[in-house]
């Protein structure tokens, strides 16, 4: 009898591990589904105006970052000949 003990007929560890893994997989699947559902619900509450304002804010921040970089990139290194 592979997978069973001779004296009690109870299942050995491999079957118990399989059952635990299956339970864990089902639990993780439910958790992932709940997380995705919550995320989609949150996204669904955003209005078009909120998304547009957020995108505009990100674009302005990126432009300000590029403007700041240009101030530092035009400075030439100075070498002093002693």
Instruction: Give tens-digit pLDDT for 28-55.
Output: 777 778 777 877 777 777 777 777 888 8
Domain that holds residue 36: 13-73
Cα separation of 11 and 16, whole Å?
7
Cα separation of 43 and 50, whole Å?
11
Domain membership of residue 23 (yes or no) is yes
Domain membership of residue 34 (yes or no) is yes
Domain membership of residue 8 (yes or no) is no
Domain membership of residue 3 (yes or no) is no
Q: Are 11 and 1 in contact (CB under 8 A)?
A: no
**pLDDT at position 64 over 80:** yes
Model confidence pTM above 0.95 = no
Q: How confident is the model at residue 71 (pLDDT cuts 50, 70, 90)?
A: low
């Amino acid at each position: 009898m592979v997978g069973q003990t001779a004296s009690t007929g109870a299942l050995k560890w491999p079957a118990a591990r399989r059952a635990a893994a299956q339970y864990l997989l089902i639990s993780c699947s439910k958790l992932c589904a709940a997380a995705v559902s919550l995320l989609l619900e949150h996204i669904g509450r955003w209005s078009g105006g909120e998304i547009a304002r957020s995108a505009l804010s990100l674009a302005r921040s990126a432009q300000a970052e590029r403007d700041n970089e240009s101030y530092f990139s035009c400075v030439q290194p100075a070498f002093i000949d002693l």
